[in-house]
Each structure stands twice: as C-alpha cells, then as structure tokens.
Structure 1
Amino acid sequence: MSVKNDTAFAPGISSNAGTKSGTKPKTVDAAAENDVLEKKGAFRPKIVAFCCNWCSYAGADLAGSNRLEYPADVKIIRIPCSCRLNPIFILRAFQRGADGVILCGCHPGDCHYTSGNYFARRRMTLLFSMLEFLGIEKGRTRVEWVSAAEGAKFAKTMHEFVETVTALGENKRLEDLRCKAK
C-alpha cells in the first residue's frame, strides 16, 4: 500500500486521509481569515473589557455558556470589583494599542462590596474628562452595569461597543507613547 506524500507537514500522510470520497475536509483557519480581512483593509478594533468578578464576568460566562456570540476582539480582564480598576490601567491599555476600553460592573446597589460601583462611577467620570482633554474620543470608553444573569445584555453591549469603536477607527492618539515590544 503506497500513500501519496503531498504535505510538507507530515511526510507519508496524504491530505486525503480519513475522508470517504477522497476530498479534503473544509476547515476555517482563523489566522488566514484575519490575514484576508487585514489585506482587504477591514479594521478590527482591539477592545479591552475590565469585568467585575461577581457580576459582569459571570454575565460574560453566561453569554458563553448560552452560546451567545460577541466579538472575538474583546479581551476580558477579570477584576475583583469595578472600584479596584486603577485609571492607569485604562491609560496603559490605550498606550499599548487598545482602540477601546469598557468597564463592566454590578448594577448600582447590587455591589458585592456594598458601594464599590459608586466609587468606580465617580472615578471613571473624572478619568473620561481627562481622556477627552488628552484627545481620546468619548466613544472609546464606556461604563456598563451588567449582572450575572444578563448574558444577553453583555453580548449586546459588546456588539454595540465594537460597532462604536469601529466607526471611530484606529486609536492613534497615544501612538507616540506606545511601548515597542522587544
């Protein structure tokens, strides 16, 4: 029995191996798909989502468990409470190439730590004013309250935020301050 060697990755194994009709199975290569989108000029924003451990992160988990789709370009970072988000983390996210940053926390009055989201709301109001002063568009930042039972709201919020940031385009405001990877 001879096997046709037509792959560079695994000598001796045919690319038709394991198929009934001898045709290649169709697969989607995510890296190739991203390359095609980039070549076509399609902009895909980089979004950082800081999510409260007790509510919003659980809401994101529920969205995933229910197989609700939200953009893969959203990178979720779990934080103990929305009030524990240091504003420097948001500045650093923009500095390192994020096109948008969203903070998701418990609904006011439902905070696991009693009043953490009230502190977060006040801090973010001040930070957003500072970001606007720096020239970062208002639509690139957002605060949203999402409970653990609101997986659909989490997915919808992420879609809306990605659309808003996509319309704004790439964030080039802090480009000169970005750290170059070594």
Structure 2
Amino acid sequence: MGPPGFEPLVVCFCCQWCSYAAADMAGAMRLSYPPNVRIVLVPCTGRVQEEHLLAALEAGVDGVLVSGCLPGQCHYVNGNRKAEKRVARARAILEEIGEDPERIGMVHNAASMGPQLARCFRDTTERLRALGPIFPVWDGSGEPKQAGREAQYRE
C-alpha cells in the first residue's frame, strides 16, 4: 500500500479518433474520474514508442496508459497492434529492472465508450495507489514519503 495521502499521477496517451472522443464523452456526461489522470492526445497509438512510456515513468509519473481504438478498427489499419507490442516490450523492461510492469497498461475504446474509459481511469488510479509511488522518498522512519516529483516541486 502506498503512503498515506499518496495520489498517483497517471498519463494516458489517447488516440484522437476513438479514445480521446471517449474521454470527451465522459466529460460531456459529467462522469467523474480522478483529476490526476493527464491525457495526451496522439494521432494514433501506433505513434507511441517504448521511449515515451518509459520516459514518463522516469520523470516521476506513477503509471502510464495507452488507450487506442478497438482491435480491427484502427483508423491507421494496425496502429493499435503496434502499440500493444510496444506496451508489452516496455512492461518487459520494467520487469527486468525490478519495477512492477502493472505501471504500464493498454486499453481499447470506441468513441462511444466514455463510461468504460472513466472506469478504467478510476481502476488504474486505485491499482497505482496500492503500488505506491514509483520513486519513494525514504526519511529513515521505515515508511516511504511522497514520490520524488513532489520533493522536486518543494525545492
């Protein structure tokens, strides 16, 4: 379990055609999802590289989602399949360095799936809250403090 008061920061790379429209629909329906989820609009999830996913984590983001079109419905034919492979490789790298691969995930959405995407954001935030910060700050008390990014902002 993460430290008391810990709120994970989540970055979600959303395809402009389906997933971003689903996030927009969730907002239009006034569905709530955690405010600590940051959406990055991409033309296609096939443009998201392993480096983008890992760089976000290295910068102190606690978890990364890639949200693309439903299988077989990619506007660029196979972009979501490319993204799935890249997510799998990034997760393997995390596992290799001893970090939990659950910090990176991929979901598929249609533009009409706003409620499902909002639920995915809530579920992801809960899972990451349980994992704790990606770079905990130890104060010698035996309990981790807030993530390293918080310490950077206080200086």
- Superposition deviation, residue 127 in structure 1: 1.7
Larger Rg: 1
CA distance in 2, matches of 1:67, 1:148: 16
Whether contact under 8 Å (2:50, 2:89) holds in the other structure is no
- Superposition deviation, residue 133 in structure 1: 0.6
TM-score when normalising by structure 2: 0.84
CA distance in 1, matches of 2:103, 2:80: 20
Q: How does 1:30-45 map to 2 (within 5 A)?
A: 41-45=4-8
- Residue in 1 aligned with 2:120? 157
| Partner deviation per Cα, 1:15-57 (whole Å, 9 max, x = no partner) | xxxxxxxxxxxxxxxxxxxxxxxxx941100111110110001
CA distance in 2, matches of 1:163, 1:41: 13
Alpha carbon RMSD of aligned pairs, Å? 2.0
Residue identity in the other structure for 2:69: C
SS of equivalent residue, structure 1 residue 103: strand
- Superposition deviation, residue 168 in structure 1: 0.2
| Partner deviation per Cα, 1:60-100 (whole Å, 9 max, x = no partner) | 00000000000000000001101100211111111111001
The alignment covers a number of residue pairs equal to: 139
- Residue in 2 aligned with 1:105? 68
- Residue in 2 aligned with 1:126? 89
- Residue in 2 aligned with 1:61? 24
Say whether 1:51 aligns with 2:18. no
SS of equivalent residue, structure 1 residue 71: coil
Q: Which structure: greater strand fraction?
A: 2
SS of equivalent residue, structure 1 residue 147: coil
CA distance in 2, matches of 1:103, 1:136: 18
TM-score when normalising by structure 1: 0.72
- Superposition deviation, residue 139 in structure 1: 1.7
CA distance in 2, matches of 1:91, 1:151: 27
- Residue in 2 aligned with 1:117? 80
Structure 1 segments of 4 or more deviating over 6 A?
none
CA distance in 2, matches of 1:106, 1:161: 18
The one of the two structures with greater contact order (alpha-carbon pairs below 8 A, sep at least 6) is: 2
Residue identity in the other structure for 1:146: N
Residue identity in the other structure for 1:159: R
User: Percent identity, aligned pairs only?
Assistant: 37
CA distance in 2, matches of 1:135, 1:60: 32
CA distance in 2, matches of 1:125, 1:64: 29
- Superposition deviation, residue 121 in structure 1: 1.1
- Residue in 2 aligned with 1:88? 51
| Partner deviation per Cα, 1:119-163 (whole Å, 9 max, x = no partner) | 111222122111111222022111000110000001000000000
